[in-house]
Amino acid sequence: MISCPPLFLPPVLMPEAVVPAYIEKGRLFPTKADDFIVTASDKGKLIIKPSHKSMSRITKKISGVIKDNRAATQETLIRRLNEVIVGWADYHHSTCAKRSFSTIDHRIWEMLWRWSKRRHPNKSKSWIVRRYWKTHKGRKWTFMSDKNILFLMMDMPIVRKGQMALDKNPFLDPGYFEQRAKKHRLNRKKAICSNRAAQIGYYAL
Count helices and strands in the chain by DSSP H and E runs: 6, 6
What is the extent of the structural domain holding 161? 30-200
Q: Is 186 exposed, middle or buried (0-12, 13-18, 19+ CB in 10 A)?
A: exposed
pLDDT for residue 162: 80
Task: Domain count for the chain, please give it.
Answer: 1
Angstrom CA distances, 67 to 10, 111, 120, stand at: 43, 9, 15
Query: What is the β-pairing status of strands 139-143 and 133-136?
Result: antiparallel
Instruction: Please give the chain's pLDDT, 205 residues, in tens.
Output: 333 333 233 223 333 333 334 344 444 444 445 677 777 666 767 788 899 999 999 999 999 999 999 999 999 999 999 999 999 999 999 899 999 999 999 999 999 999 999 999 999 999 999 999 999 999 999 999 999 999 999 999 999 888 888 888 888 898 998 999 899 889 988 888 888 888 788 887 7
In a domain, 1, yes or no: no
Cα separation values, 70 from 7, 54, 141, Å = 47, 25, 20
Considering the domain boundaries, does residue 55 fall inside one? yes
Contact of 159 with 184, CB cutoff 8 Å: yes
Contact 196, 152 (CB under 8 A): no
Whether residue 20 is contained in a domain is answered as: no
pLDDT at site 42: 66
Residue pair 91/83 in contact by the 8 Å Cβ criterion: no
Inside any domain, residue 128? yes
pLDDT at residue 166, as a whole number: 85
How many Å apart are CA 149 and CA 131, to the nearest integer?
14
Contact 139, 91 (CB under 8 A): no
Is there a domain that residue 162 lies in? yes
80, part of any domain: yes
pLDDT at 188: 87
Q: Do the Cβ atoms of 61 and 28 come closer than 8 Å? A: no
Would you tell me the crossing angle of helices 98-119 and 52-68 to the nearest 10 degrees?
A: 20
pTM of model > 0.85: no
